[in-house]
Structure 1
Amino acid sequence: MAGWSKHTGRALALAVDNIDTDQLIPARFMSVPRSDGYGGYLLHDMRRNADEELHPDFPLNRHEDISILVAGQNFGSGSSREAAVYALVDAGIRAVIAPSFGDIFANNAINNGLLPARVSISTHERLIQTLTDAPAELSIDLPEGRITLEGRTEKFELDEGWRVKLINGWDDIDLTQQHAQTIRAHRHHRSQTAPWAWPALCE
């Protein structure tokens, strides 16, 4: 996974609260091989009618080349399916900006290079108001925790450990490996001070 520090792209307002992971990708599509891509299934049942035709009024159906979503509260709630993040990433989404996120969704997002940027209610309202009529270019500065839209800069919140992972392109295993020397030293120390509790297989 490639890390990133800054991104500028077209942002779209999707001002719907409580979009859950089952809406992001319905379970019936999760048997599709990951290599085939999940982008076409993103928000499938919200974007299409029973005849599989796209709803012309749905925001994502009216605009192309969107890489940032400004969504409603509690985005990504529901089940823990990582496929919800795959659908967003495969559709070209690099960041979702919202007042709150489902905890497991946010963690899955970080591990797949997707930014879950949490903003205050007042900031969210300003962003939605600016984007109501049409998408606009928005810039994200990950190290500084800032987003800029039409000349106005706002702050977003992100756990510092998650910020490090995104910038470096690390998942949980990569992050653990950064402490390999400390882990080896601790293992050696324990094997010397408590050999009775340290199986020979661990040496």
Structure 2
Amino acid sequence: MGWYKSFINRHVNKDYQCDDYKQEMIDYLQGHGLDANETVGMMTAVNLNEVAYEMVEGEDFSVFIVITAGVGNAIDAAFGENHFIRSQPGTINTWIFVNGKLTDEAYVQSIITATEAKASVLREVGIADNVTGTIATGTSTDSILIGATQQGVELVFGGPISPLGKLVGKGVYQCLRKALAKYQG
């Protein structure tokens, strides 16, 4: 949590392994002229050309969503104890940028709403957990970001029937479906 100026979704090879991934990311950011203290960075083995994005408009605010999605590492979170750390790639990185002023509750609730929308798509598409055979709820390495301009209309809540939550849920649903359609594995 914090205030950031730069956002990067970095492509890494499918066999990426690093004992100190935080320091390696800091070194990468600094090597590209970015201040690590002002940058949010995510990594993905998904081809960045397979990115999907969606702009959804509210009455007085908007939400821009960017998703890269790989599901080779899909799991059902209810059965995480059946899994061991694997090097098989697969990550769903979700970026949600809100043109509005969010309360702390709205940030947290938006994460929940986005996660529920993601799980809905995975259920509809039929993505299974390879270990349990149940429907996956995500992957073991998913990341999510909620960013806001903190200007304009105040958005108090982010649950699925709030004005913000309606856009987050709809946007994540549409965007993830597009990202999965592009995913080459």
In which range does the TM-score fall when normalised by the shorter chain?
Answer: under 0.3
The structure richer in helix per residue is: 1
The structure richer in strand per residue is: 2
What is the TM-score when the length of structure 2 is the normalising length? Answer: 0.23
What is the TM-score when the length of structure 1 is the normalising length? Answer: 0.22
